[in-house]
């Protein structure tokens, strides 16, 4: 993928992550996002870190589906690990959440 395309896709994914996270009451600003550095894991706020994790998982899922045409349960577990920064996987016991 060309660098210009990557810039556009990354920016759109970050904006989607920011807006979707706000629904879950994880609120950050564009200033916080663009002042953070995801490459070195230096984030201005915890909310900015969460949005970057969301964006990273969103892009990873996009590339996996683009490559294979599928989104498997193993893909979902891997994406959840990116979001939560742990390997909890699927819930083993029933519950509300």
Which whole-number Å values give the CA distances from 64 to 6, 35, 42, 80, 87, in the listed order?
15, 28, 26, 14, 19
Residues 6+ apart with CB under 8 A from 96: none
Residue 53 has pLDDT above 80, yes or no: yes
Mean pLDDT for 48-70 is 92
For the full predicted model, state whether its pTM sits above 0.85. Answer: no
Mean pLDDT for 31-57 is 91
Residue 1 has pLDDT above 60, yes or no: no
Mean pLDDT, the chain, integer = 87
Which whole-number Å values give the CA distances from 66 to 16, 53, 61, 63, 71, in the listed order?
18, 20, 8, 5, 10
- For the residues of the chain, what is the DSSP string, one character each? --HHHHHHHHHHHHHHHHHHHHHTT----HHHHHHSBTTTTB-SSHHHHHHHHHHHHHHHHHHHHHHHS---HHHHHHHHHHHHTS---S-SS----
> pLDDT class for 85, splitting at 50, 70, 90?
confident
């Amino acid at each position: 993928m060309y660098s210009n395309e990557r810039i556009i896709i990354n920016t759109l994914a970050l904006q989607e992550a920011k807006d979707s996270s706000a629904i879950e009451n994880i609120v950050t600003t564009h200033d916080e996002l663009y002042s953070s550095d995801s490459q070195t894991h230096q984030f201005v706020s915890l909310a900015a870190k969460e949005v970057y994790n969301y964006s990273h998982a969103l892009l990873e899922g996009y590339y996996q589906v683009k490559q294979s045409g599928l989104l498997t349960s193993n893909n979902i577990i891997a994406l959840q690990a990116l979001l939560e920064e742990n390997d909890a996987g699927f819930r083993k016991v029933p519950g509300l959440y």
